[in-house]
Structure 1
Amino acid sequence: MKTTRILAFVALGFLLSGCNNDLELTAPWKDIPVVYGLINHQDTAHYIRVEKAFLDPETDAFTLAQIADSLYYDQAVVKLHDVKTGETWTLERVDGNLEGYVRQPGTFAQAPNYLYKIRGDVIDLQGGEELEFILERGDDSEPVTATTFVLEDMHFATGLPGDKLSFRYTSDTRVAWVPGPHAWVFDLLMYIHYRETDPDNPGNVLDKTVVWKVRKGIEREVSGGQPVSSVLVEFPGIEFYQFMANNIEANDAVVRTFKSIDLEVVGAGAEFRELLDISQANVGITGSQELPSYTNLSEGVGIFSSRIVLRKDGIVLTPESRDSLAQGIYTRKLNFQ
């Protein structure tokens, strides 16, 4: 039997990025469903990407990827099903390019950019609900299914953070939050806002933001077979100044003023934990050269899971940290006043 190499795309964002997986398959003339869906009950609309990787022994995979007709099912029906109540919703196929989600140039055809959509006020998801994804491909094949729990809201632990953040050269900064029972993996980010002013022209003001991915793929710990009630992240305070020095260019022609920090925690469901565990088990000197693929779909590749976002905006620095930003060894050339 002839072995054909195909290219399958799964946009695993975590919580916000994509990856390409080369898969070795031995069955010619077979389509492989490719699904990516991250449900967040906070969203005003929910989008799920459904595509196909079509195994063609005569055509190069990269050529097929540029042909829109090769990426999508003509007669697909995508549904979401509430496992507890039995209610089912059929999603609408839309062009993501027209919805504000333009597909970036690259391996795959940019237009159309079909996604399956349902408005949040129609489905009215609640944290803790078990939700099933169903793909009917429009032929006699079995439906493709996957289930996940809609993630519950999170909140920050008292005082972590407070209204002010402290970054010290010789000690750790601590952030803690309390997730719901179904959140297992987290990213911690900071959106750092500052202002640039031209001292020769004070009316020339420019507000800027740099995004610091403080920690990624933070796994929730387990104690006594149960997930711990809160997640605590500690990191050296000096990393803040090192990040600023590496991501803001020194410029004597401007005066900079620190404004505030928006702190964001992004949580994802158990499916992402399983994905990370599989990947990490094969990383290292003794790990295999190729990472195993993971999917929670009944057939195909991809992932159907849930995410949740927790934010605290407008956090300022302590006076000590503002002084360190202005005069410290890493950032004094950035001209923060």
Structure 2
Amino acid sequence: MKNYLSIFFIILFFSCENDIEINDTWKDIPVIYAILNSGTQEDADGYGFEDPNPFTEFDFDGDTDSDLNNLHFVRVQKSFLGEESAYNYMNISDSIYYDNNNLSVWAEVIDPNYLGSVNPAQISLIHVGENELEQLGIDKLDGNFSIDNHYLYRFPNINDINFNNPDPNVTDISDLCQGGDCNHLYKICVLNNLTGDTAYAITNIVQPLEMFKPHAHGPTSILKLGLESTPFQIDIQPSINAKMYSVSLRFNYLEQSRDSYLFDVENGNALPTTGVVAKYVDWTFSEVVITDQNQLNGSGNRIKKSFYGAEFFTYLKSTISEQDASQPEFYRYPINTFYQNFENSQAVAGIYHRCIDLNITAVNTELYTYLNANAPNYGLNQERPEYNNVENGIGHVSSRSVLNMNNLRIDKQASDSLSFGQITKNLNFACFSNLGTGYLDINFGYYCDN
């Protein structure tokens, strides 16, 4: 009897299934990403630059209108599951991209005041293939994932409307706030026509940023960063739905090697011409998180950032290599240098450098939460909380407002502080003087402070 039991257990043991199935049953799960950017109420590239004959035209869009963003994209892909390594699937186009003919993608504009009582307006999104993306300057970077048949969807804008034969299904959504009303919600919907399943996500819209100061033109476009005791102030009007503000300054400059500089001198080139490299330094301020309900509603106190000239120059010193004044390796120049006489008396006539860019981004609560969930974790618990606001799918949909106010000026005092001030004199930046004939005289080192 014991022998029979032993044989029975041996047979039972070796006949057990020992394969482990690690994959669940495949299920279609769409992946949706969209961060809608409303732009800014400022004409951030500026106009009316006071100089009657500028060498460089800074008014890039040729108007004085608000720089609202009119390109809003939605990315739709699909998740994949298989027995092999993920690396074997991600480079196969139809593993990560749907056939566009099998999808319907649209946006619904929801008025929360009439939620449930009025059907929201529906806007069909436009499929944007590789050719149009290339024309828009949007290239998919090479990587592990397939770039074949890459596409996006975008909101229609005024360029899509045929005014001679208007299509009722095409609506201009250049302005996400629809003329200033930022209380509407946007629902991004993706229908799989094969399964009948719809994934969606809802977001509010951050009101386009508006500045109290500085502006892209006029006296407030001048950053007076001499080593005086008065700080430079950045004042932002609160935007509806903006939970967090990120502010940074970019200092743009040109750099030449010693050999290139000496070549220009020997060949009588008055301006840096040979081997010039454009460089920049970004100075990012601490983020401002909004807790005041009035500011979230677009009222209340302005969002403020301020700094002293000494702080600015100290940061440059910490990020740009110092030089031996007797034999410098590099020669440097702030970009976009002009003599401006200000006939309208808005500022003192003199040499100005349009070398500062102000960049501000305001994000809504959904994007703020997403950024926090994906921020580096320096604690003992290394598990990240998952954040997904897409129903019946995965991904993220939110909004922001981005302002890029480029080519702000620093004045003569700031230029002098940069070239021969106590903090940055060893960075070897050029000093400039006006020759009174429309030409600038450029010097370095000893010749600047004498």
TM-score range for the pair, normalised by the shorter chain length: 0.7 to 0.9
After TM superposition, the structure 1 = structure 2 runs for residues 234-273 of structure 1, keeping only pairs within 5 Å, are 234=306, 237-238=309-310, 240-245=312-317, 248=320, 252=329, 254-258=331-335, 259-260=353-354, 261-273=356-368
Task: Describe the superposition over 1:254-297 as per-residue Cα deviations: whole angstroms up to 9, x where unpaired.
Answer: 452452212121222221122244456x83435x2021121211
Report the equivalent of 2:71.
45
Whole-angstrom distance in 1 between the partners of 2:150 and 2:315: 36
- Matched with 1:113 is 150
Does the CA contact (< 8 Å) of 2:35 and 2:399 recur in 1?
yes
CA contact (8 A) 2:242 2:290 kept: no
Give the Cα–Cα distance (whole angstroms) in 1 for the partners of residues 386 and 134 of structure 2.
32
What does 1:117-266 correspond to in 2, within 5 Å? 117-121=154-158, 122-127=172-177, 128=182, 129-158=184-213, 162-167=220-225, 168=227, 173-195=232-254, 198=261, 199-200=264-265, 201-202=269-270, 204-205=272-273, 206=276, 208-210=278-280, 212-215=282-285, 218-223=287-292, 227=296, 229-234=301-306, 237-238=309-310, 240-245=312-317, 248=320, 252=329, 254-258=331-335, 259-260=353-354, 261-266=356-361
Contact map agreement 2:367 2:399 (CA 8 A) in 1? no
C-alpha distance in structure 1 between counterparts of 2:156 and 2:425, whole Å: 45
Q: How far apart in 2 are the matches of 1:32 and 1:219? A: 36
Q: Compare 311-320 and 43-52 and name the one that shifted more.
A: 311-320
Q: What's 1:103 paired with? A: 140
- 2:398 partner letter: S
For 1:86, the equivalent position in structure 2 comes to 120
- CA 1:191/1:95 → structure 2, altered by over 3 Å: closer, same or farther? farther
- Between 1:140-149 and 1:207-216, the stretch displaced more is 207-216
Q: 1:221 to 1:51 in 2, by over 3 A?
A: same
Name whichever of 264-273 and 206-215 sits farther off. 206-215
Match of 1:9 in 2: none
Of residues 365, 379, 382 in structure 2, which corresponds to 1:289?
A: 382
Paired residue secondary structure (1:222): coil
Match of 2:148, as an amino acid? Answer: A
In terms of mean alpha carbon deviation, does 71-80 or 310-319 score higher?
310-319
TM-score, normalized by length of structure 2? Answer: 0.60
Q: Quick one: structure 1 residues 219 and 65, their matched pair in 2 at CA, closer, same or farther if it must change by over 3 Å?
A: farther
In structure 2, give the amino acid aligned to 1:163: S
Residue 89 of structure 2 aligns to a residue whose secondary structure is helix
SS at match of 1:314: strand
Q: Choose between structure 1 and 2: higher strand proportion.
A: 1
TM superposition shift of 1:232: 1.8
1:314 to 1:55, Cα distance in 2 relative to 1, 3 A = same
SS at structure 2 position matched to 1:188: strand
1:32 positional shift: 2.9
* Structure 1 residue 173: Cα displacement: 4.8
SS of the aligned residue for 2:270 comes to strand
Local SS of the residue matching 1:297: coil
- Displacement of 1:239 in angstroms is 5.0
For 2:192 and 2:404, locate their aligned partners in 1 and report how far apart those are by CA, in whole Å.
38
Q: Which moved more, 1:225-234 or 1:71-80?
A: 225-234
Distance 1:78 1:202, change over 3 A: same
2:52: which partner in 1?
none
Question: Greater helix percent: which structure?
Answer: 2
Whole-Å Cα distance in 2 between the matches of residues 331 and 139 of structure 1? 68
2:97 aligned to 57, 66, 72, which one?
A: 72
**CA-CA distance at 1:135 after TM superposition:** 0.7
Instruction: Answer with 1 or 2: which has the greater Rg.
Output: 2
Kept in 2: contact 1:80–1:89 (CA 8 A): yes
Query: Is this contact kept in 2: 1:245–1:330, CA < 8 A?
Result: yes
Distance in 1 of aligned mates of 2:396 and 2:228: 41
The structural deviation recorded for 1:103 is 0.8
Deviation at residue 123 of structure 1 after TM alignment? 2.5
Q: Equivalents in 1 of 2:208, 2:426: separation in Å? A: 40
Give the match for residue 20 of structure 1: none
- SS state of the match for residue 55, structure 1? coil
User: Could you report, residue by residue, the CA deviation over 1:185-230 in whole angstroms, capped at 9, with x for unpaired residues?
Assistant: 23223333334574413355358352515137x2432236863542
Sequence identity (%): 22
How far does residue 83 in structure 1 lie from its aligned partner after superposition?
1.0
Can you give the 5+ residue segments of structure 1 that lack an aligned partner in the other structure?
5-26
Gaps of 5+ in 2: 1-19, 39-67, 112-118, 159-171, 336-352, 432-450
What TM-score do you get using the length of structure 1 for normalisation? 0.78
Structure 1 contact 252–335 (Cα < 8 Å) conserved: no
AA paired with 1:223?
A: D
